[in-house]
Structure 1
Amino acid sequence: MSISGESKYRLLVEAITDYAIYYLEPDGRITSWNAGAERCYGLSAAQAMGDNFARFYTSEDRAAGLPAQALEAAVRDGRHESHGWRLHSDGSRFWAQVVLDPIRDESDGHLVGFAAIARDSSKGQPAEEALRRSQEQLRLLVQGVRDYAIYMLDPDGCVASWNAGAERIKGYREEEVLGKYFGNFYAEQDASLGQPARNLAIAREKGVYEGEGWRTRKDGTRFWAHVVIDRLTDDNGKVVGFAKITRDVTEKKQAEDELLATREALFQSQKTESIGQLTGGVAHDFNNLLMAVMGNLELLRKWLPSAPRPQMLLDNALAGAQRGAALTQRMLAFARRQELHPRPVELPLLVHGMADLLRRSLGPEIRIGTSFPLQLPKVLIDSNQMELALLNLAVNGRDAMSGGGRLEIGARGEYVAEGHSTALPPGEYVCLWVADEGHGMDNATINRATEPFFTTKGVGKGTGLGLSMAYGLAEQSGGRLLLQSQPGRGTTVEIWLPVAAAHADAQQPAAAGDPQDEGELQASEPLSLLLVDDDDLVLLSTMAMAEDMGYDVHGVLSAEEALAFIDAGGQVDVVVTDQAMPGMPGSRLARHLRERNPGLPIVLASGYAELPMDLVPDLVRLGKPFNKRDLYRAISDAQGQVGVTDEIG
């Protein structure tokens, strides 16, 4: 018996058990059901017929309208294929692959129903679902990161994805940047130099690019970014895009810059301190040499013939030695080891008193102006050293204005708080400034300007000690020297000085009865002097000056020899000792001497300002280098302080 074609198709469909094949009306009602459908869904034909196929969807998918959307997509696209969870009759789930094909009337093309084919693909689902879950977790992870900008670029460098971190760091929303070239985020200068394309080329060639640089936010502000660009390829090695990670490390960059600046400042401070120590040592040795030269020249004056030429040569030699002494004072000022006599000073009066000297020193091509407030506190400073420093600064300003110009001197009072540019302790200060219109200095020159012997004036046109002397004076006086300068725009030197306390003594003690004539420098009574100095040239010169003034002199080269002389019964009325000696300094020798005789007059000679804090009382200071008059005055002062002493021995 023969079987019709329709029956053959029905038998074929019924025989298929691995696929659910069923027919749906246009509204989704089931009107046919094969054995595969019964096996797949667990429903008999009687149970399924007439029911809507939406019953096989999960409640979540039904609430989302997926069944109706599937039918609409099949009508619209001519076919709809989907994967998703479906329900067995017992309520359990299985992973299904479903295809819906619309069926139309051949005569007029109107929709008459749908052919549905479904397959239980749960066996392959775990791997697919794991992949889907992994991809979803990765998406959530990338979107959840806010400290890093993580986004994709297409092969041409245009943005293909954008995470929340990118929006936070760069300020752009996703819709504002998708499809835009990533070079728009670079600083304008880097972008104009082609840096974005070079970075992308490195990543394309080597697989990865890593670097740092300035980037620009949407609002125009800049941030320092750490950037990684990774190349993405398909299975055939073709570049399909780039993964880009950007992190804002501006705070780290600022911390590194601050650390570098601190290290540089420390280096400059250590260098300045080292130069100061070296300068102070050189000045000390130079002082000793000048002592020998000046002392012997003074003594020679008595023995030279009175003819004009020998006296002129002697005067020239003494003048040269005195200029050398002034040079050592500048060196000691930089090293902060000169002896100062600070007192309250009114800076406007000091500058006014120097007006004639400044005009003569600077010449007619320099116009001098002043700018002082009506009320300005007094400052605590050594007025003589301040005048010298001010003259040095004015001469520097003149030399910077080769064609003439204006030099202005002024001052202002200011309260210095924590974090001030001077780095001074908080308190009241006066800023004295000298400004010129000269050629100015670059940063490299400014960094070295206060070093001793550094000069830009050329060979033979400057010692390089004027600015360093002013620097040392400011530091030793509890203040600070600052430089402000730019090439072609002049230089301003600021000296910040502490305000004098209201109770400070404004008067400089005057020395009464100083002898004015070399002939008066004679001991008023026979005295025995003990002279102590480790430098034999200085010792011999000092002994010669003392003997010339009528003193009975005994000289030794160390503190130990001095104590041995006294312990052996040597007669001593006054001791003149150097401070800086190996083994035992003069201050310690003075202590031992006072233990033996509390009333012994002692003169302490030193070229340094810094002395131990625990000095024995009633010591007379004698600055080096000194001449006969200085020595005579110091011995007289020492006798006056302690009175007549008993003879030792």
Structure 2
Amino acid sequence: MIRIPFLDGTMSRGGEGAGRSDLKAALLESEARYRVLFEAIDDGFCVIQFTDGPDGPLTDYVHIEANSGYARHTGISGIVGKTVFDVAPNDGREWVKLFRTVLDTGKPIRFEREFSEVGRFIEVAATRVEPASLHQVAVLFRDITDRKRAEAELRASEKRARENEQRVHLALAAGAIVGTWVWEIPTDSFVVDDSFCGAMGLDAAQDRDALSVEIIVQNVHPDDKDYLMAHIRKALDTGGPYAQQFRVLRADGTYHWLEASGRVEMDEAGAAVTFPGVLIDISERLAVEAERDRVADELFRLNETLEQRVAEQTAALIAKEEELRQAQKMEAIGQLTGGVAHDFNNLLAAIRGSLDMVQTRIEQGRPDDLERYINAAQSAAGRAATLTQRLLAFSRRQSLDPKVTDLLHLTRGMEELVERTVGRHIEVQTFAEEDLWRALVDQNQLESALLNLCINARDAMPGGGQLNISLTNRRLAPAEAAELKLVAGDYVLISVTDSGSGMSAQDIARAFDPFFTTKPMGEGTGLGLSMVYGFVQQTGGHASIRSKLGQGTSVDLLLPRSEIAEEPVAVATDRATPLPPAATGATILVVEDEVLVRMVVVDALRDCGFEVIEAGSGPEALEVLKSEAAIDLLLTDIGLPKGMNGRQLAEIAREIRTGLKVIFATGYDESTAMGAGSSTSDIEVLHKPFDVDVLTSRVRSLLAD
């Protein structure tokens, strides 16, 4: 324990009056002695007083005394008045912990520690200042950084020496070292063993005292000698490790490969002193490496030829695969065209036969039966249009007419049709969630898709079973939507579930592929599910299948929710509904390359009182548009000959005649008709085939706006 005068109040205060001057003189004398002793200490010395810190009472301390040695040993000046966290913000808590132990226990401590903030190692001795109530600790320390570094270097040097010694022992034990030497540079003398002389091709009776570098290297291969001597001279100039490989002529007249490995030791002035080392026979190692390189080269050449052979085989397989794919494509096209040709021929037969009967009845003067044949022709034409839409659905290119749809109302309305289609041996039930959301979907296409799925379910239950149609709301989170390649948000899920034979995993993976079917030849085209898939994809939804063999099948259709509360009232097109009158003097430019279609359209419009100008291609129509003729509306087909389609024609026409109203007639794709960025306020799309009444109604409505 330490008592420091004038810090702990141990001096007597003396009497009053004259004794005060004596006491003051004694205090000054004692203070002077204390300061002399304080500064005479070469080591760093300080007194610290504990105080409240950032972590609570007595968790920091302030330096209240320090000698000049403090700055010498720490590099920190002006320490008095500073706290530990001022000088050691990163390591302050550890210093507080060490000295707080001294303060609390009264036991002195001595230790060595790195002072990380100043980059030094210090040796520390600390003891408590009495009385303990002062909360002070006296600290004596010195900088031992140089000693620590010397110790570390010594340990590293000893470790390297041990490792080198171990390597030498291992090499000697393995027979790799074939000679040793020590070259004393100042006296230019060599100490070598017999193995060294034998390895360098020297005479065993060679006078060792007369050895020189020139004698030692006399049997080195001429191609290696100059190179070897240059590196020896470099090693003598720079010192440090040395290693070189060279060939030496042996007594048997053959060359063998040696490696000289050593180290040039330098004195304090940087002059070479000794050059010890060993000789290692590396002939066998180099032979192994040469064989390895030879094998690697051979493998490389084999690999090159192998890659060539693999490329040739791959090309042959690709060619065969392409032939197979072409054959499958032709077979699929054959199935498709065969089925389509059959259906279209039947429909054309009905249309042509009906028209023939109309002509016959007119010639016979029997007009009473005309309506029956006309209705038959119209019905066949409608079925042909439906077939075309199915083909477009298969190719994912049909034009959709999405509307806000009450799915429960739609499915309830189909129940009677579904029940008749699947038969009485199958029980049909519909389930719907309360407050079912509305969907934005093409109603006709959805009805066709549901009927297709119900027919598939029927075929999977030849002995009867259960068919359920369920409708539920479904909200897709971003992760789930990304997995399905959809936009996160709200959807309506329609599930068509049967209790039939089920599907294997392999069949599920191919179920949506065009022309794939599990039905016997002639009983299915393999287009049904593909068309359903195409329709759902175009709608912005997703179709998937859940099934196990013997456990039934569920086909799930996710359809986007409509944010519109109710569907706007559609414009009526019924024949009995009064139509807007034709604009007086309105002129229509009709562009259609199919002569018969153009004839019907032109006649129908003229019957309604319109002036009509005809054109069979885009360039012909442009000539009319550039003329002085008055034109109020352009009615054009999309697919036109002579390098200009209907959309391109309309764009140019609206540049020539600003505000020109346009009706596109298309049997293909509405998006192609409209084009990017088109305004729809004065553009209509009419899908082929269309009723004449629908055509004239669209024209009158657009002109009336």
TM-score, normalising length: structure 1:
0.49
Q: Which has the larger radius of gyration?
A: 2
TM-score, normalising length: structure 2:
0.46
Greater relative CO, 1 or 2 (CA 8 Å, sep 6+): 1
